[in-house]
Structure 1
Amino acid sequence: MTRGDLSAHGIGGQSDLPIPLNLAIAGGIAALVISFTVLALAWRTPRYDEDGADRPAPRLLQTVVASPAFAIVLRAFGMLVFLFAVFCALFGRESTINPVFGIFFIWLWVGVIPMSVLFGPFWKAISPLRTINLLLARIAGSDPDEGLYRYPEKLGVLPAALGLYAFVWFELVYPFTSELGPLRLWCAVYVGAMLIGGALFGNRFYERADPFEVYSSLAAKLSVWGTKDGRLQVRSPLANLATLKPVPGLVVVTGVLFGSTGFDSFSESTTWVTFVQGSSINGQVLANLALLAFCAGTVGIFSLGSMLTGVDPQQRRRHLPDTFAHSLVPIIVGYIVAHYLTLLIEIGTRTLIQASDPLSRGWNILGTGNWSEPTWLSYHPTLLASIKVLAVVVGHVLAAVIAHDRAIRVLPPRSHLTGQLPLLAAMVGFTGGGLYLLFSA
């Protein structure tokens, strides 16, 4: 697996698309504008955040999920994969055929999204860091939920935003991503920081500062699973998303996730490659600046669109970006599906094949060594392009729905329609720009 393998998840250039680029962009923007128009005319009162939106999960499922054995099995699975990855990182071959690269860049970063959407906060359930923190607390005779200090709530999820930016920088900009040494160092710093934070602030630290847990928990808000009074509930994904509470830094987290995906597409385009090759500035410097610009630009555009809404004067506008940031989650998940689908299927399976022989000694310990890498989706470009467009458009339409529902809850009646126009303009820009970047790679 080379760096090229990890980034080769486009479906071709603009000229050879089975779906014309201008049609994809026009269709995406039309779908967003039409959905907003329908919402503005037919959706006059908030429909989410209502207690009646939940219904109890089936009794058998509740019994299984609530059992200590279920939690133990998930923790054991997470620790097993973690220890296997550590083993590969320490003793595996100094080569990109080492499965630790796929475990880190594919299974963890990409695979956690569908698992969270399907099953809820997946990383929180299997987190080896929470398990280690629990074991250390048991040894010390302390409570893993309580650290030495109370987590400063004014920080919100800003530490997680910093961790997410560190990851996307390492994946997309750092020039030696395919070398084992830097990967070991990044993971060691991450694990060390998380364990120290857990000891100082307890499990609250992981909810707010673990980049992968925050990332997974955001995607999990689009699942049908929720909890109420400690019991498993089934609810609409959008109703579930509406329960996401605004916290400081939430818009920064979503901006980093969305902006970095946009940069990943842009960095593969002929426009960017030609610019870098013709520039007198070092390519690494340009890549660093571009990644920062994409993430900061996403945060800035969305924040401006949010703060220009017709809110009551007594409400502070600076809180509005975090209030509406939950509406970016469907967009992020849609772009993850569109951008990384083939990568997850093909390289994710390749990683499972490589994991059967972690030391490159001809082993087949998992029985997957003789599997073939599934490449059928790459050989059906029309289907793949359709899935990509559908994922992006559906994500934006769901974003418009949940943003509209929050807007009519926050805005005064006189601004229910016109007050949302700046945010709609920002989303139209994201739709057109996102589709262009996705399909021009």
Structure 2
Amino acid sequence: MTVLAHGVGSRTDLPIPIGFALYGAGAAILASFAVLLLFWRSPHLGGPDAGRPLPAGLQRLLDSSGVRRGLQAVALLIAAFVVTAALAGPEETSRNLGPWVLFVTFWVGLVPVSLLLGPVWRVVNPLRLLHRLLRPLGPDAPGAAQLPALGLWPAAGALTVFVWLELVHPDRTEPVTVAVFLLGYAAVQLACAQWFGEGWFARGDGFEAYSTLIARLSPWGRRSDGRLVLRNPLANALATPSRPGLSALVMVLLGSTAFDGLTRTVWWQTGPGSANDWFSGTVGLLLSIALVSGLYVLGTRLSGRLAGQEQGVQPARYAATVIPIALGYTVAHYFSLLMLDGQTTWILISNPFGTDGVDLFGTYGNRVDLTAVSADVIALVQVGAIITGHVVGVILAHERALLSARRARASDQLPLVLVMVVFTLGGLGLLFGF
């Protein structure tokens, strides 16, 4: 089954026996929960200062302002090139580099890069370089004192705007739409940074916050003293600072991938989404985010009540445990898109402006190789990513419960585990259009 999705391109899903996948996934979550209660009776993952420090020389190189400014300059040149190609290249989406770079190579590729290398966009973010160049032209960050209270809420809002563009906007595949979005996004981010200071990007840039969130499951981390360390990715996730808006950021990722799956169901295509307009898509996206958020808040607060803990802090306390679930959904929904349609970027880069006779790297005449990844591999990655993400989420939630109360009764954690089971079954069902 081939379905248009994700701004540009298509995705191919294998129609495996959905009943087997659903029952197996639910059983895996519950079985892992039972094993944890029996054999994981004390914290195992270490604290926020766990890990093996990197050599001091390597850390100085990685933290060098010169290296970072150089990488940001390269990223800025690439971004300017993509915007120029979007505006001056061919009008047809299939031949214009801009949409493919934004929606596939950058947005999807940011996931594996952040998993392998850590929060790379925080290091190479070209907006940080532009801000440093523009900073002397305005006041000295008069709103900096307000920034901590905002937490990650601005980033959650920025990410919502992008997924709305990717999944809802009727003209999202138009190259000019991509160029206008990139220029408008940069202008808004730079204006906010002028007011709040450079710290704004960590809290207000949706892409930087997204990369940093995914990087919480990488082996690269920092101790409280700033030292770079290699450590267990699960310990890295639990060391995520509990900032306002962290839960919202994770819920935007979960809700948007849920909505993406929903739009491919017959029910949506013949019902609420039949008009294929921005209004029904906007309502559907917001309701999907609200639904997963409501289930998560309900599960965490019920778990807190059973454990005799303050309910209001539970969603923030367990937000980091949902990161692997969000990652699992993201991998399941975007893996085939990156591996198949991601080839288009490397085809078009040979002739970014559609000039007759130009073929810089000898790839312009190539076609997307749909056999590069088999349907069996796609299905295994999709199902495996969702199940693995939820199992890891259960492990992190159990460890968090132990750290919070030094005990782990089944009744205390059961509401949150049941919510994770619902997320698993719902995610698989929507993934395969069930």
Would you call these one fold, judging by a TM-score over 0.5? yes
Distance change in 2, residues 1:21/1:63 (3 Å) = same
Q: Distance in 2 between matches of 1:314 and 1:51?
A: 25
Q: Which amino acid aligns with 1:433?
A: G
Give the conservation status (yes or no) of the 8 Å contact 2:321–2:393. Answer: yes
1:40 and 2:12 correspond: no
Q: Distance in 1 between matches of 2:397 and 2:321?
A: 5
1:233 and 2:226 correspond: no
**CA displacement at 1:234 relative to structure 2:** 0.2
| 2:110 counterpart (109, 112, 115) | 112
**CA displacement at 1:256 relative to structure 2:** 1.0
Q: Distance in 1 between matches of 2:153 and 2:60?
A: 36
Ranges in structure 2 where 5+ consecutive residues have no aligned partner? none
Q: Which amino acid aligns with 2:410?
A: L
Distance change in 2, residues 1:217/1:224 (3 Å) = same
- Map residues 68-217 of structure 1 onto 2, 5 A cutoff: 68-96=65-93, 97-137=95-135, 140=137, 149-217=144-212
Distance change in 2, residues 1:265/1:148 (3 Å) = closer
Q: Distance in 2 between matches of 1:366 and 1:157?
A: 41
Q: Which amino acid aligns with 2:262?
A: F
Q: Distance in 1 between matches of 2:194 and 2:306?
A: 42
Q: Distance in 2 between matches of 1:383 and 1:334?
A: 15
Q: Which amino acid aligns with 2:346?
A: L
**SS where residue 353 of structure 2 aligns?**
coil
**CA displacement at 1:67 relative to structure 2:** 4.0
Q: Distance in 2 between matches of 1:406 and 1:67?
A: 35
In structure 2, the residue matched to 1:6 is: 8
Q: Which amino acid aligns with 1:203?
A: E
1:432 and 2:402 correspond: no
Q: Distance in 1 between matches of 2:81 and 2:46?
A: 41
**CA displacement at 1:8 relative to structure 2:** 2.2
Give the conservation status (yes or no) of the 8 Å contact 2:109–2:338. Answer: yes
- Map residues 28-67 of structure 1 onto 2, 5 A cutoff: 28-50=25-47, 53-58=50-55, 61-62=58-59, 64-67=61-64
- Map residues 387-402 of structure 1 onto 2, 5 A cutoff: 387-402=381-396
Residues 340-377 of structure 1: CA distance to partner in whole angstroms, max 9, x if unpaired?
11111222221122122111004234554355533224
Distance change in 2, residues 1:118/1:147 (3 Å) = farther
**SS where residue 9 of structure 1 aligns?**
strand
Give the conservation status (yes or no) of the 8 Å contact 1:312–1:412. Answer: no
Distance change in 2, residues 1:290/1:131 (3 Å) = same
Q: Distance in 2 between matches of 1:303 and 1:264?
A: 22
Q: Distance in 2 between matches of 1:53 and 1:125?
A: 23
1:270 and 2:266 correspond: yes
**SS where residue 43 of structure 2 aligns?**
coil
**CA displacement at 1:397 relative to structure 2:** 0.7
Distance change in 2, residues 1:106/1:190 (3 Å) = same
| 1:296 counterpart (280, 290, 301) | 290
Q: Distance in 2 between matches of 1:10 and 1:151?
A: 46
In structure 1, the residue matched to 2:19 is: 22
**CA displacement at 1:268 relative to structure 2:** 1.1
Q: Distance in 2 between matches of 1:24 and 1:115?
A: 29
**SS where residue 309 of structure 1 aligns?**
helix
In structure 1, the residue matched to 2:303 is: 309
Distance change in 2, residues 1:23/1:54 (3 Å) = same
Distance change in 2, residues 1:349/1:371 (3 Å) = same
Distance change in 2, residues 1:180/1:54 (3 Å) = same
Residues 402-426 of structure 1: CA distance to partner in whole angstroms, max 9, x if unpaired?
111111222463x633111110010
Q: Distance in 1 between matches of 2:418 and 2:277?
A: 33
Q: Which amino acid aligns with 2:102?
A: F
Q: Distance in 2 between matches of 1:70 and 1:154?
A: 31
**CA displacement at 1:226 relative to structure 2:** 1.1
**SS where residue 11 of structure 2 aligns?**
coil
Q: Which amino acid aligns with 1:86?
A: V
Residues 97-120 of structure 1: CA distance to partner in whole angstroms, max 9, x if unpaired?
211101111122111111100000
**CA displacement at 1:217 relative to structure 2:** 0.4
**CA displacement at 1:181 relative to structure 2:** 3.3
Distance change in 2, residues 1:204/1:166 (3 Å) = same
Give the conservation status (yes or no) of the 8 Å contact 1:250–1:322. Answer: yes
Q: Distance in 2 between matches of 1:367 and 1:132?
A: 34
Q: Which amino acid aligns with 1:325?
A: A
Distance change in 2, residues 1:178/1:3 (3 Å) = farther
Distance change in 2, residues 1:417/1:314 (3 Å) = closer
Query: Which shows bigger deviation, 194-203 or 46-55?
Result: 46-55
**CA displacement at 1:82 relative to structure 2:** 1.0
Distance change in 2, residues 1:199/1:49 (3 Å) = farther
Query: Which shows bigger deviation, 212-221 or 349-358?
Result: 349-358
Give the conservation status (yes or no) of the 8 Å contact 2:150–2:244. Answer: yes
Ranges in structure 1 where 5+ consecutive residues have no aligned partner? none
Q: Percent identity?
A: 36
Give the conservation status (yes or no) of the 8 Å contact 2:138–2:194. Answer: no
**CA displacement at 1:184 relative to structure 2:** 2.9
Query: Which shows bigger deviation, 117-126 or 65-74?
Result: 65-74
Q: Distance in 2 between matches of 1:160 and 1:366?
A: 37
Give the conservation status (yes or no) of the 8 Å contact 1:21–1:439. Answer: yes
Q: Distance in 1 between matches of 2:210 and 2:368?
A: 28
Q: TM-score, normalised by structure 1?
A: 0.90
Distance change in 2, residues 1:3/1:20 (3 Å) = closer
